[in-house]
Amino acid sequence: MVGLTHDNSGFFPLPALRILKIDAKLLTAQVARIVKPRRDPLAGSGCLDVLEATTPVLEVGLKTQLLAILLTTFALLLTTVALLSLSTSAARYPSYGTLQTTKSSGVLNVAINNTHSPINLFDQFVQSDLANLIETLQANDTDVRVVVFSSANLEFFLAHIDINYFLPGYESPLPVFDVSIPELTFPVALLWNITQLPQATIAVIEGRARGIGNEFLMSCDMRFASKSPSVLLSQLETSFGANPGSGGSMYLAHEIGRGRAFEYVVSSTDIDAVTADRIGWINRAFDTSRELHSYVQGLAARIALFPAAGIAGTKQGINAASRPPLEVIIQDAQKVIETLGASPAVQAFSEKFLAATHNQTVGPFELNYGEKLVELYQ
């Protein structure tokens, strides 16, 4: 457990408090109690020490006893205040409705859990929460050196965008695809901003990620997956009559090559973890979930040992050789937005998709879209 406090520039660690041993010589040679710190065995490193009192050792006068009791009580009061401060500081870390966050030793673990959707849709709730998280991380919180993204839904790491947005008259609780929104909340810029974070980012994949869900993965610096049959990745936009608008096709072309990018993106084919590992879509696939998490946590802990400036500088150099400028991605995205908003064919296919998936719920189409999509053209 690490205490955090918030200011305008982000979140910074609150130094761990320790109550020092009270020297009996400061009281008298005869002291009623000796107060000493004891580490809570259930707490992790860096947590607040707690107080422990020994059995009375000597008979002392009433005044000495009272003085010792007062000092002990004062020390306990300080401890209580510090504990409350620690608890309050931790509570100041933003509560994200669709993101579960835990932080330890320079590593921030983020589990995506969109309770509004059984398939972990990338909807406006996820977008808004990610925007808030990324804004915090962009503040150069040097105490966080690595961000590990995972999913609380083992069937869907992060599904496609909510297809309802493509239908005329649909009202979203938050703005959708509006380029007038501040750049950070625009989904294209949001994913690009993930690539520009000063922290190293790692995706732990144990479920499906299609469309913008896969583009989210491609925005992370590293991607590791289990060989579970639930791991299926794809860019499905072509099957809707559009193209990936958040950098997916550009990132994939760099990672797996032009020919393979055509093969998988244009065909909207699902790819499993073993194949994704072989062609470079992901870094590595592991036989079991335990092996996956063990490796990633070890890697993250190792990277978190290094200076933040070194991590950020190295990332900038790699990005310069592998990431297109934001302006290029946004131009591509604007074409997609125009297509989705004006094409009757896209809207008709979207309606078919929503009917086949029972409005994007767990079922044959969402589980196996790569295989089932051809049925929508028959």
pLDDT at 374 over 60: yes
Are 357 and 210 found together in one domain?
yes
The dihedral sign for the CA sequence 54, 60, 65, 68: negative
Rounded distance between C-alpha atoms, residue 160 and residue 114, angstroms: 12
Task: Give the containing element (helix H, strand E) for 222.
Answer: strand 222-226
pLDDT tens sequence across 269-323: 999 999 999 999 999 999 999 999 999 999 999 999 999 999 999 999 999 999 8
Backbone dihedral region for residue 324 (phi beyond 0: left; psi -120 to 50: alpha; all else: beta): beta
Q: What is the CATH number of the domain that holds 286?
A: 3.90.226.10
Domain count, the chain: 2
| φ/ψ of residue 137, rounded to 5 | -70, -30
Are 247 and 328 found together in one domain?
yes
Percentage of the chain lying above the pLDDT 90 cut:
51
3-state secondary structure of 110: strand
Domain boundary pick from 91, 108, 126: 91
Are 122 and 14 found together in one domain?
no
**Cα angle at 130 between 5 and 176, to 5 degrees?**
135
For the record, the structure tokens of 124 come out as 């406006």
- Exposure pattern of 93-114 as b/e (b: 16+ CB <10 Å)? beebebbebebbebbbbbbbbb
Pairing of strands 35-38, 50-53: antiparallel
When pLDDT is cut at 50, 70 and 90, the band that residue 74 belongs to is low
Are 9 and 144 found together in one domain?
no
Are 38 and 148 found together in one domain?
no
Are 195 and 65 found together in one domain?
no
Are 252 and 291 found together in one domain?
yes
What count of residues does the chain have? 378
Are 228 and 349 found together in one domain?
yes
pLDDT at 181 over 50: no
- Compute the CA torsion angle 77, 78, 81, 87 (nearest 10 deg): -120
Range of the domain at 349: 99-377
pLDDT tens sequence across 325-349: 888 888 777 777 676 666 788 888 9
Are 196 and 266 found together in one domain?
yes
Residue with token string 């004891």: 38
pLDDT at 172 over 50: yes
Are 241 and 260 found together in one domain?
yes
For the record, the structure tokens of 62 come out as 């009433």
pLDDT tens sequence across 312-323: 999 999 999 998
Residue 103: strand pairing partners: 108
Are 232 and 188 found together in one domain?
yes
